[in-house]
Structure 1
């Protein structure tokens, strides 16, 4: 006769369970009851939209295929774009009722102090800002982008988030500006998601290999965060595709963004050609097809006209 095994770390598990925290990877999955303010359980987020040309190609192909998109991410750093290109990209998004989030710079790989980052040990620091001049440039970039009409900023450094929160509180950037944590912030458990929420983040990109129980606990313990969950990954980041889990993701993590299409590239800095765009849109279609085939009655985000991440309604 089968008997229940005794788990290790019993004192730690007891403490976590007593504080209503995740204590095991075998926690039963439960559907979320939250949604976006405008209604809906999930949206679609497409990354690596780093130029006006790529944006226009992607919008055209998504429309041709009849596929929804809630917002795009610019991921290389908006300081590589001119004021005019940023304006034109925002105009295209407004015309098509799609949100757009731009990445703040300078990222370490571009900064004048990048030599440590490029070394073996430097890579472990992530994209942390390591000098005061870079903080000043980042603050100035936030002002520039919001003056151009952007209301969604992607950050890579938790210290930058604290700075952005203060800028928003002081009215230096508009109160409706939304801050999104990049996957490079390594939001990998519910305690980390709480830290970002408490410091002003509106949405977080979860680490790519987060399991369903971990994502469920992030939703439970960070109720005001939008969870942006990668469903497929660049080849050099692992290359896995978790489309088969899309039905579970939209149920347990709502309100959330299905981050679709990264696997169209081997590396996020690879050139984006028309063939890349076509492959990315095909991956969007495959991910959404898994949801439709499952029979899960999940609702798509109600209002896609806002140029920002949408807040949560519990």
Structure 2
């Protein structure tokens, strides 16, 4: 993983509420340089952006229109319902639309716990969670991955360790293109540095961690892994509904390389998406872009909006893997 070269004349980053609080003797302690991440994307940038829950071509068109209108840079667009919920024509339209604008399209593999015959996912304990059940579950995820890849999709979302390792092995053997990337879902995101490192070694190219990790947790992760982190700056309600906009600059400082995900709290669930959810899917897609504009405006006000990866960049750089079999 490439380390960003220090800016010879970095502009100071203003902490929220400063200098007003400082004048009252209530200023925040100085940031500890030891907490800063030493890592970056291979292009030298420390952060990229992602708009999640874009469930089809129509929602994609809304996101592209709004991102242009509000001047919101987008590096990645992801979908949550699953590859199997899209026709070949829909996948092709989405892949072509993103490719024309240098945006990475990431589609979810399945089946998984929320779309399967297993009942344990719906128990109070959550059972096996979102993982793929049995050989058929694994095979379905592989089928999805091969189909999407053949239609031009270069990023695949996974929610199972075995699926991740299997897809990585297929990538190593050339069955999937070498530039395919794998993104670990927030639904199984790791919460400690050792588990984060395991996902990297299994083949992950970015890992979505839960939005309730503390700032110290990000520093701990960065001491053992350089794999990009995906983070909801505003999380959906079923992932806690956390809003961390005012921490965005510090999250970048500690968590780089970091994908800022513009989620949406207080919004109805739309998985698995269908035409019966069209209105809410389009409205929430539009609002996610607006939330992104709010987060970027906040970064700019704090003088922390520099060092974004160039638009069109998508690869994570060299990462550590378990030995090939």
2:158 counterpart residue number: 155
Moved over 6 A (4+): none
Deviations 1:70-112 (A, max 9, x none): 101111111100111111101110111211111001122222x
Q: Aligned partners of 1:238 and 1:207: how far apart in 2?
A: 9
2:233 counterpart residue number: 231
Structure 1 residues 143-222: aligned runs within 5 Å? 143-222=146-225
1:245 to 244, 247, 270: 247
1:267 to 262, 266, 269: 269
2:14 counterpart residue number: none
Change in CA separation of 1:155 and 1:249 when aligned onto 2, cut-off 3 Å: same
* 2:103 paired with 1:95: no
Q: Secondary structure at the match of 1:125?
A: coil
Structure 2 gaps, min length 5 = 1-31, 320-325
Q: Aligned partners of 1:94 and 1:46: how far apart in 2?
A: 15
After TM superposition, the score normalised by the length of structure 1 is 0.84
* 2:317 paired with 1:311: yes
After TM superposition, the score normalised by the length of structure 2 is 0.81
2:292 to 281, 284, 290: 284
1:141 counterpart residue number: 144
How many residues are aligned here?
Answer: 283
Task: Give the Å deviation of 1:268.
Answer: 5.0
Q: Secondary structure at the match of 2:156?
A: strand
Q: Any conservation in 2 of the 1:229–1:259 contact (CA below 8 Å)?
A: yes
Q: Any conservation in 2 of the 1:152–1:179 contact (CA below 8 Å)?
A: yes
Q: Secondary structure at the match of 1:154?
A: strand
* 2:257 paired with 1:255: yes
Q: Aligned partners of 1:273 and 1:126: how far apart in 2?
A: 25
Q: Any conservation in 1 of the 2:106–2:155 contact (CA below 8 Å)?
A: yes
Task: Give the Å deviation of 1:220.
Answer: 2.2
1:300 counterpart residue number: 308
Q: Any conservation in 1 of the 2:66–2:289 contact (CA below 8 Å)?
A: yes
Q: Please provide the CA RMSD for this pair.
A: 2.1
* 2:134 paired with 1:117: no
* 2:36 paired with 1:31: yes
Q: Any conservation in 2 of the 1:108–1:117 contact (CA below 8 Å)?
A: yes
Deviations 1:203-253 (A, max 9, x none): 100112111111122122112x11111111112332221100001011111
